Structure 1
């Protein structure tokens, strides 16, 4: 018998649909406290999440009943469009609205006074809603929260912020039910613990995964280049695939690569196929035009980034192309799911490695997808800068008892293990700014009333706190506009704009524009299709190859041969084995060789780009200290290449774990990475205000004030909470020291040092890498002294 009430059963029947088993399960178990549904893309996952609410709302409900939270504003808008169909066709008494950063002030005010039955929002907008004094009235009738694409939120501080907001809703609405929806989950029990209010358990429902994807590497006439990340060598084959399919999504790992590829694709597009570009730095209106054209089937291809990763239903997309190694199997599976967005229809995808090494990485990723082996780093405890912000948000909503708020915070999955001492340290910081800053009025934000409750010292501070809610840290972005017409094109980083002089050209939205000047914090440009452009710097995420994928690559190297790889790559690996050897899983391969008058050391650590970059910094620092005269280094996801004046006789002492950590401590003390990390954490924690009623601070202003604060705290209060937080964040993120420690634990002192007479095949691509880091030390001074002596001798003065 159908589990659906008559109007719903009739509606499904009229469309020729049947209720999927996981949809029926969600309806049958709708009274459970927390449910996590893992279902393939196209499997009706979102409808499964909403079905219990629609059935309950069919009988009428005053006020807010269901809150839907998604990571993307565009996804909330898409869900609103999709929900409108069943609501209108069944004549249900349900109002569905979204509330994001794009919603008008007037509509937001009306929603607070008269909430719809279903409200679609983002973590930031929800946090803001909970900060109002009338939050108990707004959420009075709330029964269910649906968190879509929960795996994506769980990977960032936005997820931590959301779980704290849900803990607050739990206080306001006892008995609140939670639903998490996801297509790609590597560790369902861990994600269930993240979602469920502590200590309540969360039930995990897993739908039939459907048929395996049709996924392969794109074979090309030209081999990939030795280095680089563009994929333009495959342009003819990519265009051929676009001609053969209805709509193709072409994913890139960075916005800059997407711009380069789109420009090259457009120049090669002799058939004038309609092709668009979509990434987070483009103007919203331009992104929406591309989205609308996709929905209407007016585009044959869209070059994109993570801005189209998540569950928006683009209808006729029947091919996904991933340009560049995916770096992460879970992300690849998510992107593959954009093609054939239908239940029980295999998704079709092609991988285009951007360089020779990425051929190996792509093959490893293909094997992982076939083995259903998803990757993902284990989650750490909830970050304390987000908790500091939450304490301020709670104070905006009204006075609170510290004991009550501590209990509430511990109900959020990421903060279930939070100690009272850690909470009290965050409360003290939120109230006073901490020991070194408590003398300044601007950081005296909370006070304790005679009844023991904490409250805002000045109620007017709530406006500033609300204006700075959120965990997304924009890099310092400047708007780009056409001169004269004033048409917005998007944004570029402030540091890139500072490098431009009038007449320089760069790519924006696939077109070449000429820099005219900076006017009122806006980059003014004009059209200039003539010259070779610079590449704009965009703030999008730069991925590192996951630990699991790195381990797979190392296991592949142990094979006798590689019949699954193209001949050019298999021959390259065979030559490496002949000239040197291939890296092994439990050992560290270190090659040293002379080249071009310099000594080189190549370390194959396979720890991801951030960690290998940090390793380069630490190795050159140690080499400098021991008189080995390094000149510079360059790093990729899999190796670090160091060059200098002197041969390293035995590299093993350079890798002693204690020495690496000691070197890190010294390097971190005055490093710009720490100042950048401090600025981000201080902004989230509420110490630095990026937004004020007068104007938003520029990046330079914020950096200046945060640098002064950092130096002050380091000098007068080295144990300050924010310095502790900064250190944790830097170790976890930009520096990724945990991956280095994992590498040293994995090799356990087993270091294979091979002295070669020339560059090895595996090291050769590193010489072509961009991003070389010079070392300004004894080696450079020695070279300058030698050059001075030569000049004096040539002049007859020595």
Structure 2
């Protein structure tokens, strides 16, 4: 549905629209009518013209040529998206002859161009949260942003899910102080809770108005039928290779999404080996060299590729050419992510997106069916946002100090205008200010952390102005994994991408691995660069690429549990429906609001399975806590393995009454004791300390390696744990670990939901639902009495065999 062009539209704009046969969609017309609202959030489907809706008011206001300096700031989560939007904007500006200069500014922008942009800003600047934070840190920020009228934040849902969004909202609060009357516009296609996102981007306490566009036609999504059933565990979609190739043949451009970079590499390798016709197929993910990624992007736009195997690097709103099919390999784990990826196909408002799901294993068949039903119902998932993290707040204090002296009262008020920090208390603010100024109680004796001082007039400033260089070099909340560059040893040292430092350390000369679809042979490590040569082998190792480790969302898990309650499953393939039917006959299926436990002997060990459906991180943590409690009770656990839906524990003793193991208070006490000296806490501390400015990954001399940074952060963590356990960064670390890596909040949610309703089924053998757990990799051994007893028994057996006992 469209609406007529408004009469107020200038002739050159009306002619441009008419030449293309375009009218405005209702949401675009409403955005234009509300162009002077202080804060707007537009939720419109992919291909619905969000970019035009966001920029049309700016183009109209700039068309007269009487505005000098920066008028509109566009913020994108991706550098590539900023560049893509700039190219798209330049077309109407050039064709209408508008006197508008448009430029982008990202980490790829040259130093010379950045300096010129500060001295002579363009009318429209497209950038990222990190580059904006850096711009606000300069002393001349008031001059750079003089005249700024509008800020457009694209894909705001993606930013709101991480600390990058918190940093951006603090930067916008800074811009509000510099540019009173500044208008904000947020654009998004996938929002599970629009009012919550509006509160996030609002200029607190003012509300942000939400515009909901017509969602357009429902997506055309289904599971891909395959001749071979998916494996019981793992798999990576290899069983569906021929069917995927057949879909590639039938479509113009197919995007084949994976949840991890390593899975993408494996699938691409197998796809290329099966590609006997030589169809042009590329690979794209964040660990590949930028030149290679840009080459693939260009080939997609030009229509020279038939398929691209990719990860989240192609999730967001860039129009990658004539994509007409999306294939998601592996369960999407999150309905919102699935909808976002589906939107890459048929990137037009009036055309349904087409997508196929390929479950990687038998259980993922069930998860994919639940995700398909949720996507069709537009039932998006997402956990409520907590308050803005304090390590980001500490960094913002340092950024503000770089720009010049500041008043603490004014800065506190400024921070509270940022949506994530609207409820910030003065005590928490003062704790952050004290930490930034002195390092906190245990560190205030060290000069390197004495960073601020208070002037006689009460204002705060940097103790040493030269510190601003180091602060600016470390702005940002994105935490690098410990990555090393990979280059060919010969032929000019061509860059291929990056692998994790830990993976590189595991390699010996001659080992092979996959990167960018190539099999390469490890030659050695020189100057923190992994040197490789090409290898013609067919069975490489796989690089342990970093990247997000997705856990099945709470909402999707609940859908799976509800699906289990059906009498039959006509939407499932016969092999999976028969599996669930057999589980119901032999044991029972998990239910919402209850916890199913199964006990059975197998291979001379006693086993206990808890079907918690709380996500992989939470189920992993549950395994650690349960085996710790079992050890305390003399139940001799030997190890466990966890998936998104269950934890399997094995040991030497039968657990007769497992219910006390799940007592919420006991689990909480066990977690507190386990976390104190755990590597999870140290890793979390390192991240928080880097964001909060306690540690610097980048220095004017050289960048620290991951091992150097880990070593220094471990020393700091141990020092604070011993002498100042209530230090601000220790509080931040505990909060982050509970919410993130160990996901204890989902365990607490599980115990609240079941409220003691536990079904313990004792069996004489492995249940159908538990069987795939025995095939999972990543088993965690438990060191304790049970393993000591096992080793002693094995020792006795060997001694008897030798005739010594």
TM superposition score normalised by structure 1: 1.00
1:673 matches 2:686:
no
1:581 matches 2:588:
yes
Match of 2:5 in 1: 2
1:698 to 705, 709, 717: 705
Tell me the alpha carbon deviations over residues 382-406 of structure 1, each in whole angstroms, 9 at most, x when there is no partner.
0000000000000000000100000
Distance in 1 (CA, whole Å) between partners of 2:538 and 2:504 is 18
- CA displacement at 1:789 relative to structure 2: 2.0
Distance in 1 (CA, whole Å) between partners of 2:786 and 2:742 is 25
- CA displacement at 1:608 relative to structure 2: 0.3
Distance in 2 (CA, whole Å) between partners of 1:797 and 1:323 is 56
Match of 2:666 in 1: 659
What is the correspondence of 1:384-395 to structure 2 with a 5 Å cutoff? 384-395=390-401
1:749 matches 2:756:
yes
Distance in 1 (CA, whole Å) between partners of 2:801 and 2:307 is 63
1:358 to 360, 364, 371: 364
Distance in 2 (CA, whole Å) between partners of 1:658 and 1:476 is 37
Distance in 1 (CA, whole Å) between partners of 2:756 and 2:400 is 50
Match of 1:766 in 2: 773
Tell me whether 533-542 or 119-128 shows the greater mean CA deviation.
533-542
Match of 2:601 in 1: 594
Task: Structure 2: state its 5+ residue gaps.
Answer: none
Match of 1:713 in 2: 720
- On the 8 A contact 2:514/2:543 being kept in 1, the answer is yes
Distance in 2 (CA, whole Å) between partners of 1:413 and 1:383 is 12
- On the 8 A contact 2:5/2:23 being kept in 1, the answer is no
What is the correspondence of 1:209-248 to structure 2 with a 5 Å cutoff? 209-248=215-254
Tell me the alpha carbon deviations over residues 438-464 of structure 1, each in whole angstroms, 9 at most, x when there is no partner.
000000000000000000000000000
1:252 to 250, 255, 258: 258
Tell me the alpha carbon deviations over residues 692-714 of structure 1, each in whole angstroms, 9 at most, x when there is no partner.
00000000000000000000000
1:35 matches 2:40:
yes
- On the 8 A contact 2:287/2:497 being kept in 1, the answer is yes
What is the correspondence of 1:248-327 to structure 2 with a 5 Å cutoff? 248-327=254-333
Match of 1:546 in 2: 553
Distance in 2 (CA, whole Å) between partners of 1:792 and 1:358 is 47
Please state whether the residue corresponding to 1:471 is helix, strand or coil.
coil
Match of 2:374 in 1: 368
Please state whether the residue corresponding to 2:146 is helix, strand or coil.
coil
Distance in 1 (CA, whole Å) between partners of 2:604 and 2:718 is 41
Distance in 2 (CA, whole Å) between partners of 1:511 and 1:763 is 37
Match of 2:193 in 1: 187
1:527 matches 2:523:
no
Distance in 2 (CA, whole Å) between partners of 1:638 and 1:5 is 58
What is the correspondence of 1:9-408 to structure 2 with a 5 Å cutoff? 9-60=14-65, 61-408=67-414
- On the 8 A contact 1:713/1:720 being kept in 2, the answer is yes
- CA displacement at 1:788 relative to structure 2: 2.1
Please state whether the residue corresponding to 1:136 is helix, strand or coil.
helix
Please state whether the residue corresponding to 1:287 is helix, strand or coil.
helix
1:686 matches 2:689:
no
- CA displacement at 1:5 relative to structure 2: 1.7
Tell me the alpha carbon deviations over residues 486-513 of structure 1, each in whole angstroms, 9 at most, x when there is no partner.
0000000000000000000000001110
Tell me the alpha carbon deviations over residues 181-224 of structure 1, each in whole angstroms, 9 at most, x when there is no partner.
00010000000011111011111111111000000000100000
Match of 1:476 in 2: 482
- On the 8 A contact 1:247/1:319 being kept in 2, the answer is yes
- On the 8 A contact 1:474/1:539 being kept in 2, the answer is no
- On the 8 A contact 1:229/1:257 being kept in 2, the answer is no
Please state whether the residue corresponding to 1:270 is helix, strand or coil.
coil
- On the 8 A contact 2:324/2:346 being kept in 1, the answer is yes
- On the 8 A contact 1:478/1:521 being kept in 2, the answer is yes
Please state whether the residue corresponding to 2:541 is helix, strand or coil.
coil
Tell me the alpha carbon deviations over residues 86-134 of structure 1, each in whole angstroms, 9 at most, x when there is no partner.
0100011111100000000000000000000000000000000000000
1:624 matches 2:631:
yes
Distance in 2 (CA, whole Å) between partners of 1:172 and 1:229 is 54
- CA displacement at 1:638 relative to structure 2: 0.2
Please state whether the residue corresponding to 1:549 is helix, strand or coil.
helix
- CA displacement at 1:229 relative to structure 2: 4.3
Distance in 2 (CA, whole Å) between partners of 1:725 and 1:229 is 38
- On the 8 A contact 1:231/1:323 being kept in 2, the answer is yes
Tell me the alpha carbon deviations over residues 297-327 of structure 1, each in whole angstroms, 9 at most, x when there is no partner.
0000000000000000113100000000010
- CA displacement at 1:241 relative to structure 2: 0.3
CA RMSD of aligned residues (A): 0.7
TM superposition score normalised by structure 2: 0.99
- CA displacement at 1:531 relative to structure 2: 4.0
Match of 2:422 in 1: 416
Distance in 2 (CA, whole Å) between partners of 1:531 and 1:480 is 20
- On the 8 A contact 1:8/1:90 being kept in 2, the answer is yes
Task: Give the length in aligned residue pairs.
Answer: 798
Distance in 1 (CA, whole Å) between partners of 2:295 and 2:613 is 41
- On the 8 A contact 1:214/1:348 being kept in 2, the answer is yes
Match of 1:537 in 2: 544
